[in-house]
Amino acid sequence: MSEPLRLGIAGLGTVGTGVVKIVRQKANLLAARAGRPVVITAVSARTRDKDRGVRIGDYAWEDDPVKLATRDDVDVFIELMGGSDGPAKAATEAAIDAGKDVVTANKAMLAHHGQALAEAAEAAGRVIRFEAAVAGGIPVIKALTEGLAGNEVVRVMGVMNGTCNYILTRMQGAGLSYETVFEEAGALGYLEADPELDVGGIDAGHKLALLSAIAFGTQVNFEGVEMEGIGRITIEDIRAAADMGFRIKLLGVAQMGARGLEQRMSPCLVPANSPLGQLEGGTNMVVIEGDQVGQIVLRGAGAGEGPTASAVLSDVMDIARGIRPATFGRPAMGLDPTKAAKSATPAPYYLRMTLQDKPGALAKIATVLGEAGISIDRMRQYGHEDASAPVLIVTHKTQRRALDEALAAMGQLEVMVGAPVALRIETV
């Protein structure tokens, strides 16, 4: 049998511990499938003596992940520390400079520095693999780079943050407010230390930027992702959407249009009977549309020890087998600079607003929409509350810029109570 592939793991949290467990428990299976042993030689973490439920003392210890990344007995540096900069980035750069391949689950680092890291790795003849950075155990990176390599990708979309999907489906299922379920998610440990990474759409936006680069052959452009979180979604929105045959999801969508690459991460309405509409709890789903295969749906666990560690090992196994694709599916120097297009594809929209209960209020709203060239498909007015009246409108397809103009004009009207909420309705 060939020489072993030697791993150095930086970061022994949930995912890192999961990787250690798989390598220890499935050593014979991994060796048989890779054609060579896969072994861990050294590790690094913030705390050495923590009880992780798995033996760490069998491996060399480095306090400094940069030193771990440059050890002579490490072939593949596995970065599981997280963070867009700091030790994760420094150690990854050191590993590349030292001639090591890199496997990472760090979506933030790649979303911000992926182009530069990919160019450095490819110039050094090394690879960076990151299946674990997007959608946990779902093999979406492999699907795009390998299984669908003969396709022009038309659109990529999906639910890529399990915490947000848990919150929205819990609100619907239990009839609870956003604030109540947010507190519940925090108590269950579902939220990041900075909750805005989850509920603000940032975590999912990082993932969408990486998928866009692979799908459309562009340089990673996280700054080009239009982002809106779920904090403004009310239980009334959830109920109204259901009443009209929709469910609300934090949905990432990327597609190439005549004006450039659209990347949106925002709450959207999707048909309740669609695969995305039926997605419950913390599960992730990615939908890919190719010109040859049509639509395919990938569904599975988006986080957790086992699923994410499984994705790390899939990359390790490819390296062990000698499979060495470019970081983003094609040479980094050949990736096109991204021209960001802001919501250029027309779509229908759901509008929720509260109007003063006075004659002509609704007519003024209809006039503003008409002047912006937006026609109304459906409209519902619910029971009055004090001196105000909740109104729901579903428009026909329109450009987002036209809708923004209409919303700005509505804000000048004296009949509005508070700011309106506008959610895109995505066809699936």
Q: List residues with catalytic annotation.
A: 207
Distance (Å, whole) CA 80 – CA 324: 20
Q: What is the dihedral of CA 173, 175, 180, 185, to 10 degrees?
A: 0
CB crowding 42-55: b at 16 or more within 10 Å, else e: bbbbeeeeeebebe
Helix axes 400-410, 361-371, angle to 10 degrees: 150
**Alpha carbons within 13 A on the beta-carbon side of 418:** 11
Are 36 and 3 in contact by the 8 Å Cβ rule? The answer is yes
- In terms of Cα–Cα distance, which of 326, 281, 279, 311 is closest to 428? 279
Q: If you count them, how many residues does the chain have?
A: 428
Tell me the residue type at 43.
V
Q: Kindly give the pairing relationship between strand 260-271 and strand 421-425.
A: parallel
Are 52 and 89 in contact by the 8 Å Cβ rule? The answer is no
Residue 130, CA distances (Å) to 102, 112, 164, 296 in order: 9, 14, 22, 21
DSSP 3-state of 241 = helix
Handedness of CA 196, 199, 202, 206 (dihedral sign): positive
